[in-house]
């Protein structure tokens, strides 16, 4: 990035859930440490992941019950055993799970059961200084989230909007804390363990020269601790229901746009509060990650506000937001802000101006490079700029091989072949695109793991606009030969 004089480098996009593990989902345990070792051997210096907050529904990491908490999915049973908080026998009965796909519901139930067992043992410890310090350091979100989580279970999983009126509007929080205090303390312990395990993984990354590239979803769920605790920061009616919800207008991904359903921020109230909630969120994120991608960056300049009762995003309208003022305030708080702006789709001049003003790089996708006039296409290799993050594709796209097989037109295939100078087929296209990316002038190249391995559409992570079979793909193996091949490419193109 221009503000930090970023040197040429590259990294891998692989969400933690996709890592191999005998417990049904990738976590903060041994497989993550082994993956970092492989990144190092492959000459990579960045590991990009998706949000690690607790999913609310549909398994999506962009649909969470908290903008601050970490999902229990990621707890490592092995690390709990090493820390003396579990015995091997506590893992019984073992979890039967697929090595190919994450099965979220049984895995989450299993992880919470293990955390609960470990809490019973933790309670017996006399020295809880680190835990108490954690509770103080994270008090700006921890209490609200843990009370919210316990109440959600207490009310059988119902959204907070359907809770009794007294607690829905937070008039009797103390009464419930007194009644459910032990369960709330247990939730705090869960977060303590998760943050401790994350910090160990983060330190290991740094020791190996790997930076973690995290992801912050702009919006939060209505059914979240954030909205329940701070309804004043969102456009809600008197019954606490969203008046308008967020999304995007029709674009490349969807003819009717995308209606995400998240409540829209009331930026006037945030402004009056000196953007304190957002300042806390960014400070929190910059402690967790070395580089932060802000999903839907455009939403800081204007929000696509959709009437909450509409079934699609077609009838939304743009509402201006004070993004420039907010980021100016942010720069008063931090010396540098290692932010990457997700700027895909139709981007207006005000967004481009804000990115240029603050030195935030945007994203370029090679799979978009061969549509239309290649001389004018900003994603075409000849039109890349240094201050950008270049991808072959992202978690929302088909894999490169799947795109070539199922989506790429014959005309686009001819354009690709004219750029690389020879014929391409399904078996070679991913490798060719990886080479194109590594050759680029872009300072940072990020390669989805599926493209490094040349996998087809069955390895796709997410298909926007669909509800089934998303976020489930799991990595089986990254072979020694494939690691060596990427290391050689990285060295050849000066990204080591």
Beta strand 362-365 with 388-391 is parallel
Number of independent structural domains in the chain? 1
> pLDDT digits over 368-390, tens only?
999 999 999 999 999 999 999 99
90, part of any domain: no
pLDDT greater than 50 at residue 4? no
Task: Average the pLDDT over 175-198 and give the result.
Answer: 97
79 belongs to a structural domain: no
6 band by pLDDT with thresholds 50, 70 and 90: low
Prediction pTM value: 0.96
pLDDT at 41: 98
Strand 291-295, strand 339-341: pairing: parallel
Average pLDDT over residues 142-156: 98
> Averaged over 14-21, what is the pLDDT?
97
- Residues classed as catalytic: 295, 342, 396
Taking residue 281's Cβ as centre, other Cβ atoms within 10 Å add up to: 18
Beta bridge mates, 265: 234
**Mind giving me the DSSP string for 347-391?**
--HHHHHHHHHHT--EEEEGGGTTSS-TTT-TTSGGG--SSEEEE
CATH number (domain holding residue 475): 3.20.20.80
- Quick check: is 197 in a domain? no
Domain presence at residue 44 = yes
Please check whether residue 242 lies inside any domain of the structure.
yes
Paired tokens of 414: 């001819």
- The answer to whether position 198 is within a domain reads no
Domain of residue 7, residue span: 2-61+207-492
In a domain, 474, yes or no: yes
When pLDDT is averaged across residues 255-261 and rounded to a whole number, the result is 89
Classify residue 164: in a domain, yes or no.
Answer: no
Q: What does the pLDDT look like over 283-341, one tens digit per residue?
A: 999 999 999 999 999 999 999 999 999 999 999 999 999 999 999 999 999 988 999 99
In this structure, the dihedral spanned by the alpha carbons of residues 77, 78, 80 and 85, taken in order and rounded to 10 degrees, is: 100
pLDDT digits (tens, 9 = 90+) for 196-236: 999 999 999 999 999 999 999 999 999 999 999 999 999 99
């Amino acid at each position: 990035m221009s503000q930090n004089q970023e040197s040429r480098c590259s990294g891998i996009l692989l969400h933690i859930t996709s890592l191999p593990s005998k417990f049904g989902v990738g976590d903060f345990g041994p497989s993550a440490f082994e993956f970092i070792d492989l990144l190092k051997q492959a000459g990579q210096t960045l590991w990009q992941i998706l949000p690690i907050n607790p999913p609310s529904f549909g398994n999506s990491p962009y649909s969470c019950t908290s903008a601050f908490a970490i999902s229990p999915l990621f707890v490592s049973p092995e690390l709990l055993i090493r820390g003396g908080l579990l015995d091997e026998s506590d893992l019984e009965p073992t979890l039967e799970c697929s090595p190919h796909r994450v099965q979220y519901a049984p895995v989450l139930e299993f992880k919470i059961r293990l955390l609960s067992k470990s809490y019973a043992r933790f309670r017996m410890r006399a020295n809880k200084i680190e835990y108490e310090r954690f509770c103080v350091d994270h008090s700006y979100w921890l209490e609200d989230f843990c009370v919210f989580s316990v109440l959600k279970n207490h009310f059988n999983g119902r959204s907070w909007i359907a809770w009794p009126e007294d607690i829905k509007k937070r008039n009797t929080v103390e009464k419930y804390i007194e009644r459910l205090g032990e369960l709330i303390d247990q939730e705090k312990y869960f977060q303590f363990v998760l943050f401790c395990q994350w910090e160990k993984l983060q330190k290991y990354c740094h020791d190996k020269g790997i930076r973690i590239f995290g992801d912050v979803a702009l919006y939060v769920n209505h059914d979240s601790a954030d909205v329940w605790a701070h309804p004043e920061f969102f456009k809600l009616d008197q019954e606490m229901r969203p008046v308008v919800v967020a999304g995007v207008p029709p674009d490349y991904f969807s003819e009717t746009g995308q209606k995400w359903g998240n409540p829209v921020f009331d930026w006037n109230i945030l402004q009056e509060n000196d953007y304190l909630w957002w300042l806390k969120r960014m400070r929190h994120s910059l402690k967790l990650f070395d580089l932060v991608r802000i999903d839907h960056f455009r939403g800081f300049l204007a929000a696509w506000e959709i009437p909450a009762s509409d079934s699609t995003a077609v009838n939304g309208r743009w509402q201006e937001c004070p993004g420039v003022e907010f980021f100016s305030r942010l720069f008063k708080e931090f010396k540098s802000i290692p932010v990457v702006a997700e700027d895909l789709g139709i981007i207006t001049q005000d967004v481009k101006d804000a990115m240029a003003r603050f030195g935030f790089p945007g994203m370029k996708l090679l799979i978009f490079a061969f549509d239309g006039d290649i001389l004018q296409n900003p994603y075409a290799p000849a039109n890349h700029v240094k201050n950008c993050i270049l991808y072959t594709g992202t978690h929302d796209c088909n894999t490169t091989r799947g795109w070539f097989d199922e989506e790429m037109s014959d005309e686009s295939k001819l354009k690709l072949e004219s750029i690389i100078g020879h014929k391409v087929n399904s078996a070679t296209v991913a490798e060719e695109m990886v080479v194109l990316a590594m050759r680029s002038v872009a300072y940072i190249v990020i390669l989805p793991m599926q493209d490094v391995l040349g996998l087809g559409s069955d390895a796709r992570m997410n298909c926007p606009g669909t509800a089934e079979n998303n976020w489930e793909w799991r990595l089986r193996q990254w072979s020694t030969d494939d690691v060596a091949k990427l290391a050689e490419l990285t060295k050849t193109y000066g990204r080591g």
